[in-house]
Each structure stands twice: as C-alpha cells, then as structure tokens.
C-alpha cells in the first residue's frame, strides 16, 4: 500500500512554444505533456523513491493512455485511477507572457477528470497511508471531486493519516471567499500547508506572506512551507522559522515546480529527516523541475536531487 496518496485532475497540457502571452493569438503549441497538479505531485514522490498513488479519472483515449503509461513507468500506484467511458481526458492550454505570467484554458470539469466522486475513494486504501495530500485544484475541480476530497479527509483524520494541503486554487476560477470556504475543512485538519505567498495571504487575509504563515501556525497547522520561486522557501513551525536558500538554476519552464516541491517535502518528512534537510531537498527538487520542459517529464529523479544537494553540503 502506498505511503503517500493524492487525488484530483490528471490532464494533458499543450504549451505555447512562442510565449505569445495570449490564447487568442495564432501560435504553435507543443504537447501533449502529461500533467495536472496531483499527477505531478504523485509522480515526483515516486521518482524520489517513496511509494505514491493518484486517485483520479481519465478518458478512454490516447491522452489517458499517455498519462497511465507515464505514471506507471515512474512507479505511481494507478490502481485507483479510473477510466470513464464516454468522457475525454482533461486538457489544458497554457501560454506565458515575456514577464513570466501565465494564462491557462482548462477543459476539466466536463471532462473525465471532473467525474471524480466519493465512490472513487476507498477507505482501506487511504487508511493505510502516511500522508494524504489535498490540492486546491481538486477541491475546485467539480462538486463531486470536492466531495471526494472531503471523504478522503474524513478517512485520513479517523485513521491518523497526516493531511497536507497545497491551496493551489486559481483565483481566476473562484472568488477569494469561495476559496477560503472550500479550503477551510482541510485547513482545520492539516498537519502541513504548502502555499505560495499569494495563496497564504488569500487564505488568511493577512498583508504579508510571513504574517499569513504565522497565522496558519496560530490556527493549528504544525508546519507551513512557504514557496518563493527563485528565492527558495521558508519553513514555519510553532517555535522555528527556517529560511531555506534557493539553488541557482536557469529557468526554462516553471509549471509544476510547486507540486514537485510538495512531493519532495513530504518525501523528506516520510524519511524522518530534520526540517533543514527536508527544505533543502524540496528546494533542489523544485529548482531542477524548472530547468526543463514538461510538467511531469521534468520531475527530478532521486540521484539528480542528491547531486544538486551535494553542491550545497560541501
């Protein structure tokens, strides 16, 4: 049985080669790349050699096969990845502007991914894990997907499985009040929260990322890992603040760095490492993932992260 389980949207992604910054402009897309925040997360964990599973729904088409092949090859447990007849696999088109901001068009809610429901959540499967990772994207995917997350949460709490939350809800998709409302049940039980600065402020209403992370700790979260892109990350606990420096790398494509960081951080916790090492390991994994294209394809292998870590330790 896998140590780390997540649930949510598997999808294939098409990336604008010319960084036009608009999805109305004629361009060329490169893809399909296997993607979706929970799929990237589960793959990152498996490549870092801790057992992981993805609960989700794909269509009976070649995009679904592509996802299944990638995840299986990397060692992700796909026994709870369902193929929904009559639905196509979720897709996303993404473009970047020269300033680095991103625009997405998703086809998820009415695709196979959005059909995730509480029936896909198996009590015995969740109960035997060490971590259940819940992502804002899965909470906002569709009402039935949200209910699936809440069911998994309830099982995790009942069986002492640690709960982690990445509140990666895209603010274009939901209002801030709505985002807070859907994340609240998970936040109330979360052992670990891994937000970006903007997400932490959005969740708490605080004016700085640091204040927001403090507030999350005051509200009962044990560990908050604040992701800061090229500036690395900061880990907060009740009595410690650990500023973890970034690794210097050449950024090629940033999508998936946050999910990879989440996966690596939880791998470090499962291994029982001190938080300094957990943070450095997660920073190294996130840094490697931005140096190459393709959200899942760019997830680092354990030997690559160890090699980058060694440059810091000597």
Contact set with ligand ATP (CB under 6 A): 168, 196, 227-230, 232-233, 246-247, 249, 251, 254-259, 261, 283, 286-287, 290
Q: Are 108 and 90 in contact (CB under 8 A)?
A: yes
- Nearest Cα neighbor of 135 from 263, 29, 233 is 263
Residues 4 and 263: their CA atoms lie apart, in Å, by: 9
Q: Are 304 and 288 in contact (CB under 8 A)?
A: yes
What is the edge-to-edge ordering of all strands in the sheet holding 11-16?
29-35, 11-16, 90-96, 102-107
Least separation, in Å, of the C-beta of 158 and ligand ATP? 29
Residue nearest Mg ion (C-beta atom): 258
8 Å CB contact between 186 and 153 = yes
What length does the chain have? 314
Q: Give 91 or 168: the residue with its C-beta nearer to ligand ATP.
A: 168
Give the distance, in angstroms, between the CA of residue 146 and the centroid of all CA atoms in the same chain.
Answer: 16
Q: How far is the first Cα of the chain from the last one, in angstroms, to the nearest whole number? A: 37
Of Mg ion, ligand ATP, none, which one sits near residue 89, judging by CB under 5 to 8 A according to partner kind? none
Residue 157 binds: one of Mg ion, ligand ATP, none (C-beta under 5 to 8 A by kind): none
- Report residue 129: phi and psi, to 5°: -85, 165
Residues found near Mg ion in the complex (CB under 5 A): 168, 258
Nearer to ligand ATP, 13 or 120 (CB): 13
Query: In angstroms, what is the minimal distance from the CB of 117 to ligand ATP?
Result: 26
Tell me the C-alpha distance between 268 and 248, whole Å.
21
Q: Is 259 a catalytic residue?
A: yes
Tell me which of ligand ATP, Mg ion, none is bound by residue 16, counting a contact when its beta carbon lies within the kind-specific cut-off of 5 to 8 angstroms: none
Residue 129 binding partner per list ligand ATP, Mg ion, none, with a CB distance cut-off of 5 to 8 Å that depends on partner kind: none
Q: Which is nearer to ligand ATP, 80 or 227 (CB)?
A: 227
Tell me, what DSSP letter sits at residue 115? G
Nearer to ligand ATP, 115 or 233 (CB): 233
Answer with the entry of Mg ion, ligand ATP, none that 173 interacts with (C-beta below 5 to 8 A by kind). Answer: none
The neighbour count for residue 254, using CB atoms within 10 Å, is: 17
If you search the block for the tokens 């979720």, which residue do you land on? Answer: 90
Rounded least distance, CB 34 to Mg ion, Å:
18
Query: Least distance in Å: CB of 22 to ligand ATP?
Result: 19
C-alpha–C-alpha distance, residues 69 and 84, integer Å: 17
Residue of 77, 120, 259, 262 with catalytic role: 259
Of 1 and 230, nearer to ligand ATP (C-beta) is 230
User: Minimal distance in Å, beta carbon 204 to ligand ATP?
Assistant: 17
DSSP tag of 88: P
Catalytic residue numbers, as ranges: 259
């Amino acid at each position: 049985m896998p140590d780390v389980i997540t649930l949510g949207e598997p999808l294939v992604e098409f990336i604008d080669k010319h960084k036009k910054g608009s999805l109305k402009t004629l361009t060329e897309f490169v893809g399909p790349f296997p993607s979706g925040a929970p799929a990237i997360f589960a793959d990152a964990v498996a490549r870092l050699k801790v057992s992981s599973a993805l609960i989700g729904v794909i269509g009976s088409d070649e995009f679904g096969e592509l996802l299944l092949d990638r995840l299986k090859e990397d060692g992700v447990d796909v026994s709870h990845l369902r193929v929904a007849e009559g639905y196509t696999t979720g897709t996303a088109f993404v473009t970047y502007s020269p300033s680095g901001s991103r625009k997405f068009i998703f086809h998820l809610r009415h695709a196979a991914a959005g059909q995730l429901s509480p029936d896909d959540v198996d009590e015995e499967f969740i109960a035997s894990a060490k971590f259940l990772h819940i992502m804002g994207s899965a909470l906002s995917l569709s009402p039935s997907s949200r209910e699936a997350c809440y069911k998994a949460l309830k099982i995790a709490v009942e069986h002492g499985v640690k709960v982690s939350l990445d509140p990666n809800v895209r603010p274009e998709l939901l209002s801030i009040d709505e985002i807070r409302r859907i994340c609240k049940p998970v936040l109330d039980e979360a052992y670990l929260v891994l937000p970006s600065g903007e997400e932490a402020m959005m969740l708490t209403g605080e004016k700085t990322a640091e204040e927001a992370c403090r507030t999350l700790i005051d509200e009962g979260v044990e560990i908050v890992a604040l992701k800061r892109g090229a500036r690395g990350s900061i880990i907060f606990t009740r009595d410690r603040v650990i500023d973890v420096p970034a690794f210097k790398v050449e950024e090629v494509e940033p999508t998936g760095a946050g999910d990879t960081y989440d996966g690596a951080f939880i791998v470090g916790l499962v291994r029982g490492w001190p938080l300094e090492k957990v943070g450095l390991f997660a920073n190294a994994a996130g840094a490697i993932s931005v140096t190459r294209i393709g959200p899942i394809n760019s997830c680092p292998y354990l030997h690559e992260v160890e090699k980058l870590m060694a440059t810091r330790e000597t």
